């Protein structure tokens, strides 16, 4: 969808669905390469088509089709998921890979081994996933209640628990006037926790009276902020009935609650800002997209009155869920169903399509089972008759209402796990839902997996220093993961243009079908052959995002990132970086018996960002080695034991009797204890991440299976990104746990020491900076830089440039020579960073500057001569002049002599 309106960088392009132009009905185009590929894939698949399908499953699909305007004859059995094998919950476990975890509030359900049913509503966690056979699963997880901690005030004992619970219940009830969900007590339990005793007796881990659930709570010693040097502390654990009650309970405790004999103390909250899903996943050792097992005899299958459209629906107690770490055979990915789609609209001339007036004329969809090479489904739904397309199923409708309803029913029949496309988040899905609402297609917006739950549109905005502010739309589709390839590319890549055509050419070497946006309406108003051409164009627009998803390993990388960071898959697509670090921090703190405090983020101005030193600009005809610190920030944190738990407050070292060899002083004057006193949480997290990455890379080098290699490659990349993001988390002023003492001035302080240590005066043959009189061989600098790689903080050899042109920060051009160990048979003629040329949207400017730099750097031509040659070529070439005309600009006549 090249012409969809979208935020973010990249030049804008005209809407692709504008009226204009004419099409000759007799001029039928020849099949394109994409059409020939479709035909070839159809022939290949003919040998593998399913011969039979279970009668009951097919009949169910036919009944759904009858309600949704899809004729039963139009349903291909391949659209359907495989029929689940008979499953006995008493003797067989249920094993599936969970893709998404959320929660809802509803009535309590009977669960094997669960507590007595309570009155009113309770929180229920919900895990959607897929089995090894491709069967969709929804697991309702019961009995887990939200909670948070607070330090016990001085003099607080077990005799005060009941009084505090009573007073807090009354305060929440007064604060919760009009709340309909809460019919029982708001506070289920108030417990004392310490190192010696886990919890006060009489309450179960699921938050209801009864026996203990058997899953122990980690022992608590203290909060994680600062090194105090004292023993265990007493904490109160406040267990609430509903997740939404955590915020008012926290606020009321901070304001102060009356406790008999203690006055009205205020309570500092700990871990009260943790999402309910993250809280559950941390306590059960569940990570994103891992495999879950419901043991035999511990779960119940819902045979009737299912709440979702999943094939299997189960209820289980939270403490009975078995989580398998993503290692060995549990690293595999289930055969997920991925759907890519695109829509076409009949727009008016010069006006971007509006759902209030412009109809949807085509919806094309492609389906892929993860792990297979080619799509198993190609469907084109068109408004008005369309000629057949070899390799795709074409279904035509006379009314737009029937077209929309047919696609909605198709979604429910095909039941995709992942939905992708290009700009579907801001255009396709909102447009379809808005258009269906205008046409009063009442059953259209049920696109998720929860029965009776409408998909709605809401505005959302995301802002960070890396991406700036982006306003987007969010379409709820519970149980399905949305991966908009445009949003992925905007977040992960810096490109000159983000149009589908430009992106496809850049990554795939492919382009869209040759259909101008100005003739789309005329093609629709033509005959069945012109609508066929439009359908092929729409199919290609749905096919390219699917190819990008595979080529860039977007899904694999996202799955592995969710596993490494321990968050649900949807968090990676809709949340920032901090939630990933918080999840890892909570897991490590749980093992150490520490708690994360709630810190108010005020966004002060004391933070000093990274310092970029101005380079020595100029042209260099001596070898310049580009050096890179190996895991710079993780290495700094591990080497100096920088962490919340090792930070010493001013004067604390003297009070605790620490000697000078037991702590270090940072460039900003802050102090941290060394590992001999206490090893920090953050260094432990980083060591685990980097060692896991080393193992993944070693396993990758031995692996031969292509799919498993993709998984391992995605895993090692996720581990690398996660390790680098920990340092930035501590410097986020508006964050959950900022600590500027960790994140300031370390890198800048290391550079002078590095220059002073590796210089001519220190006995080295050359200075690290400046190589006067060096012979013209990049190996000299590269070998010297490799010798510096003796500790984790020293630079590793990257590439060498001879000659090179240094124009400023981030603007280095040169003839690149790789490190000797990595040098190919011939030297590269690319540049590490073309500087200004890489950010010019105009293709002519980019091409002109690239040729100019190539002449000067590689062939060492005179700059003036190179400039004149490039100008002559551009002036004498029609293509060169055309490239200067940017899309959307207006051409004016001018006098050539005026040039």
Q: Binning pLDDT at 50, 70 and 90, where does residue 51 land? A: very low
Confidence tier at 28 by pLDDT (50, 70, 90) = very low
Distance of CA 163 to the CA centre of its chain: 45
CB atoms within 10 A of CB 525: 14
Is the sign of the CA dihedral 437, 441, 447, 451 positive or negative?
positive
Whole-number pLDDT of residue 772: 42
Higher pLDDT, 619 or 715: 715
- The percentage of residues in the chain with a pLDDT greater than 70, rounded to a whole number, is 68
Check residue 47 and give its pLDDT.
43
Contact between 450 and 428 (Cβ < 8 Å)? no
- pLDDT for 868 equals 55
Q: What is the pLDDT of residues 833-859, one digit of tens each?
A: 333 334 445 666 666 666 666 666 555
| Angle between helices 706-730 and 681-702 in degrees, nearest 10 | 160
Looking at mean pLDDT, say which of 205-209, 403-407, 667-671 comes out highest: 403-407
Least confident span in 245-249, 359-363, 774-778: 774-778
Mean pLDDT of 457-467: 72
Per-residue confidence at 704, pLDDT binned at 50, 70, 90? confident
- For the segment 242-257, the average pLDDT, to the nearest whole number, is 93
- Tell me 307's DSSP state: S
Where in the chain is CATH 2.40.50.730? 94-143+286-331
**312 beta partners:** 137
User: Which of 72-76, 200-204, 333-337, 720-724 ranks highest by mean pLDDT?
Assistant: 333-337
For CATH 3.30.420.10, list the domain ranges present in the chain: 33-46+338-558
Cα–Cα distances in angstroms (integers) from residue 862 to residues 103, 197, 848, in the given order:
67, 80, 16
pLDDT above 90 covers a percentage of the chain that reads: 39
- pLDDT tens-digit series, residues 721-751: 888 888 778 777 667 788 878 876 666 666 6
- How remote is the C-alpha of 32 from its chain's centroid? 35
202, pLDDT greater than 50:
no
pLDDT at 255 over 80: yes
**397: number of Cβ within 10 Å:** 19
Q: What is the overall mean pLDDT for the chain?
A: 77
The pLDDT score that the predictor gives to residue 761 is: 67
**This prediction's pTM:** 0.79
Task: Count the Cβ atoms, other than its own, within 10 Å of residue 645.
Answer: 25
Is the domain spanning 33-46+338-558 CATH 3.40.50.1820? The answer is no
What does the buried/exposed string (b/e) look like for 193-227 if buried means 16 or more CB atoms within 10 Å of the residue's CB?
bbeeebbeeebbbbbbeeebbeeebebbbbbbbbb
Beta-bridge partner residues of 818: 799
Q: What ranges in 241-331 are assigned the alpha helix state H?
A: 246-255, 276-283
Report the alpha-carbon distance of residue 297 to residue 302 in Å, rounded: 14
Instruction: Kindly report the number of other CB atoms within 10 A of residue 744's CB atom.
Output: 21
pLDDT value of residue 139: 97
Task: Give the Cβ contact number of residue 740 at 10 Å.
Answer: 17
Helix axes 400-414, 429-438, angle to 10 degrees: 130
Cβ–Cβ under 8 Å, residues 888 and 12: yes
- The string of pLDDT tens digits covering residues 152-195 is 999 999 999 999 999 999 999 888 765 556 678 899 999 998 63
CA angle 666, 672, 676 (to 5 degrees): 125
* Beta-strand pair 337-345/360-369: antiparallel
Total count of residues recorded for the chain:
899
* Angle subtended at Cα 314 by Cα 312 and Cα 315, rounded to the nearest 5 degrees: 170
The region, left, alpha or beta by phi > 0 then psi within -120 to 50, assigned to residue 509 is left
Which pLDDT value is given to residue 97? 98
Q: How confident is the model at residue 799 (pLDDT cuts 50, 70, 90)?
A: low
Model confidence at 678: pLDDT above 70: yes
CA 113 to chain centre: 36
Helices 578-592 and 706-730 cross at an angle (nearest 10°) of 90
Q: Before 803, cis peptide (omega within 30)?
A: yes
Tokens of 872: 């002559």
**Residue 272 scores a pLDDT above 50:** yes
Q: Which of 167-181, 510-524, 682-696, 752-766 has the lowest mean pLDDT?
A: 752-766
- On whether the CB atoms of residues 388 and 467 are closer than 8 A, the answer is no
Distance CA 854, CA 740 (A): 44
- Residue 517 pLDDT: 82
Residues 475 and 425: beta-carbon distance below 8 Å = yes
Torsional sign, CA 799, 800, 801, 805: positive
Contact, 436 vs 444, CB < 8 A? yes
Residue 54 has pLDDT above 50, yes or no: no
Tokens read off for 137:
């699963």
Contacting residues for 128 by C-beta, under 8 A, at least 6 apart: 98, 99, 100, 101, 136, 137, 138, 139, 308, 310, 449, 479
Instruction: Say how far apart CA 822 and CA 339 lie, in whole Å.
Output: 40
- The whole-angstrom separation of Cα 640 and Cα 636 is 6
DSSP string, 321-376: PEEEPS-GGGG-----EEEEEEEEE-PPTTS---TTTPPEEEEEEEEEETT-SS-S
pLDDT band at 49 (very low <50, low <70, confident <90, very high): very low
H/E element holding 638? helix 632-640
Q: How far apart are CA 770 and CA 284, in angstroms?
A: 56
Using CA atoms, how far apart are residues 81 and 136, in angstroms rounded to an integer? 8
Query: What is the b/e burial string over 545-581, where b = at least 16 CB atoms within 10 angstroms of the residue's CB?
Result: bbbbbbebbbbbbbbbbbbbbbbbbbbbbeebbbbbb
Whether the Cβ atoms of residue 390 and residue 429 lie closer than 8 Å to each other: no
CA pair distance 130, 480, nearest whole angstrom: 11
Segment 361-379 mean pLDDT: 93
> How far is 116 from 99, CA to CA, in rounded Å?
30
Residue 719: predicted pLDDT: 86
Q: What is the pLDDT of residue 38?
A: 61
Categorize the per-residue pLDDT at 36 as very low, low, confident or very high, splitting at 50, 70 and 90. Answer: low
| Res 232 pLDDT > 90 | no
Q: What's the N-to-C CA distance of the chain in angstroms?
A: 39
CATH class of 603-787: alpha beta
Assign 759 a pLDDT band (cuts: 50, 70, 90).
low
The token duo for 295 is 């043991």
* Overall average pLDDT of the 772-783 stretch: 42
**Which pLDDT score, from 0 to 100, does residue 897 have?**
40
Question: Does residue 877 carry a pLDDT above 60?
Answer: no
Predicted local distance difference test score (pLDDT) of residue 846:
64
Mean pLDDT of the 513-529 span:
89
Residue 348 has pLDDT above 80, yes or no: yes
Average of per-residue pLDDT across 54-72: 50
Q: What is the pLDDT, as a whole number, of residue 366? A: 96
58-73 average pLDDT score: 53
In this structure, CATH architecture of domain 94-143+286-331: Beta Barrel (2.40)
What is the per-residue pLDDT across 214-231, written as a single tens digit (0 to 9) for each?
344 444 456 677 887 766
Q: Say yes or no to pLDDT of 830 above 50.
A: no
Contact 253, 267 (CB under 8 A): yes
């Amino acid at each position: 969808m090249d012409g969809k309106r979208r935020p973010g960088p990249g030049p804008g392009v005209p809407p692709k669905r504008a009226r204009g132009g004419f099409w000759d009905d007799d001029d039928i185009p020849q099949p394109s390469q994409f059409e020939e590929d479709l035909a070839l894939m159809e022939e290949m698949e003919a040998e593998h088509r399913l011969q039979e399908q279970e009668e009951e499953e097919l009949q169910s699909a036919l009944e759904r089709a009858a309600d949704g305007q899809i004729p039963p004859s139009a349903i291909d059995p391949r659209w359907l998921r495989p029929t689940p094998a008979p499953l006995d919950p008493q003797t067989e476990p249920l094993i599936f890979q969970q893709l998404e975890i959320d929660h809802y509030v509803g009535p309590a359900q009977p669960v094997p081994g669960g507590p007595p049913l309570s009155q009113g509503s309770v929180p229920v966690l919900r895990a959607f996933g897929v089995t090894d056979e491709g069967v969709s699963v929804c697991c309702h997880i019961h009995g887990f209640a939200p909670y948070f901690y607070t330090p016990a005030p001085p003099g607080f004992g077990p005799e005060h628990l009941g009084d505090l619970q009573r007073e807090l219940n009354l305060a929440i009830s007064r604060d919760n006037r009009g709340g309909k969900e809460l019919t029982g007590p708001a506070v289920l339990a108030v417990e004392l926790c310490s190192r010696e005793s886990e919890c006060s007796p009489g309450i179960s881990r699921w938050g209801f009276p009864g026996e203990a659930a058997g899953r122990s709570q980690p022992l608590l010693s203290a909060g994680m902020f600062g090194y105090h040097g004292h023993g265990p502390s007493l904490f109160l654990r406040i267990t609430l009935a509903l997740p939404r009650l955590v915020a008012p309970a926290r606020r009321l405790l901070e304001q102060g609650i009356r406790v008999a004999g203690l006055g009205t103390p205020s309570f500092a909250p700990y871990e009260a800002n943790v999402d309910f899903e993250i809280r559950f996943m941390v306590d059960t050792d569940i990570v994103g997209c891992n495999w879950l097992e419901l043991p035999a005899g511990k779960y119940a299958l819902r045979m009737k009155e299912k709440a979702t459209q999943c094939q299997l629906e189960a209820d289980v107690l939270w403490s009975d869920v078995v989580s398998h770490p993503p290692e060995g055979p549990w690293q595999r990915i289930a055969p997920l169903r991925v759907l890519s789609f695109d829509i076409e609209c009949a727009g008016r001339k010069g006006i971007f399509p509006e759902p209030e007036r412009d109809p949807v004329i085509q919806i094309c969809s492609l389906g892929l089972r993860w792990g297979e090479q080619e799509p198993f489904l190609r469907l084109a739904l068109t408004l008005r008759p369309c000629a057949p397309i070899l390799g795709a199923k074409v279904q035509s409708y006379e009314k737009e209402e029937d077209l929309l309803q047919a696609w909605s029913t198709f979604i429910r029949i095909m039941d995709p796990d992942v939905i992708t496309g290009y700009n579907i988040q801001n255009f396709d899905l909102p447009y379809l839902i808005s258009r269906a609402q205008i046409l009063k297609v009442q059953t259209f917006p049920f696109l998720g997996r929860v029965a009776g739950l409408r998909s709605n549109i809401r505005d959302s905005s995301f802002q960070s220093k890396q991406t700036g502010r982006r306003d987007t739309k969010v379409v709820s589709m519970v149980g399905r993961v949305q991966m908009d390839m445009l949003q992925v590319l905007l977040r992960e890549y810096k490109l000159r243009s983000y149009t589908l055509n430009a992106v496809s050419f850049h990554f795939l070497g492919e382009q869209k079908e040759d259909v101008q946006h100005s003739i789309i309406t005329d093609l629709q108003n033509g005959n069945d052959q012109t609508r066929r051409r439009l359908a092929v164009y729409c199919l290609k627009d749905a096919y390219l995002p699917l190819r990008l998803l595979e080529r860039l390993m977007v899904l694999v990388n996202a799955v592995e990132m969710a596993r490494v960071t321990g968050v649900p898959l949807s968090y990676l697509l809709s949340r920032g970086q901090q939630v990933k670090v918080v999840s890892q921090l909570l897991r490590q703190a749980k093992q150490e018996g520490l708690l994360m405090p709630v810190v108010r983020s005020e966004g002060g101005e004391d933070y000093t960002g990274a310092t970029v030193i101005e380079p020595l600009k100029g042209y260099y005809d001596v070898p310049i080695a580009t050096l890179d610190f190996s895991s710079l920030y993780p290495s700094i944190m591990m080497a100096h034991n920088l962490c919340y738990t090792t930070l010493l407050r001013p004067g604390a070292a003297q009070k605790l009797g620490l000697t000078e060899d037991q702590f270090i002083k940072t460039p900003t004057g802050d102090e941290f204890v060394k590992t001999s006193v206490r090893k920090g949480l953050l260094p432990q997290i980083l060591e685990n991440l980097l060692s896991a990455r080393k193992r993944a890379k070693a396993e990758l080098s031995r692996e031969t299976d292509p799919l498993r290699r993709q998984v391992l490659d995605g895993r090692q990349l996720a581990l690398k990104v996660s390790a680098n993001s920990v340092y930035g988390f501590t410097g986020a002023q508006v964050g959950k746990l900022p600590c500027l003492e960790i994140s300031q001035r370390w890198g800048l302080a290391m550079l002078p020491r590095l220059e002073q240590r590796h210089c001519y005066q220190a006995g080295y043959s050359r200075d690290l900076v400046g190589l006067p009189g060096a012979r013209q061989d990049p190996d000299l600098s590269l070998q010297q830089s490799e010798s510096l790689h003796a500790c984790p903080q020293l630079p590793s050899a990257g590439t060498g440039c001879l000659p090179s042109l240094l124009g400023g920060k981030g603007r280095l051009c040169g003839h690149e020579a790789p490190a000797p160990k990595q040098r190919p048979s011939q030297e590269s003629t690319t540049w590490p960073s073309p500087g200004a040329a890489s950010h010019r949207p105009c293709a002519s400017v980019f091409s002109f500057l690239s040729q100019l730099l190539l002449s000067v750097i590689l062939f060492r031509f005179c700059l003036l001569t190179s400039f004149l040659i490039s100008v002559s070529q551009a002036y004498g070439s029609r293509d060169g002049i055309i490239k200067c005309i940017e899309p959307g600009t207006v051409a004016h006549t001018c006098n050539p002599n005026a040039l």
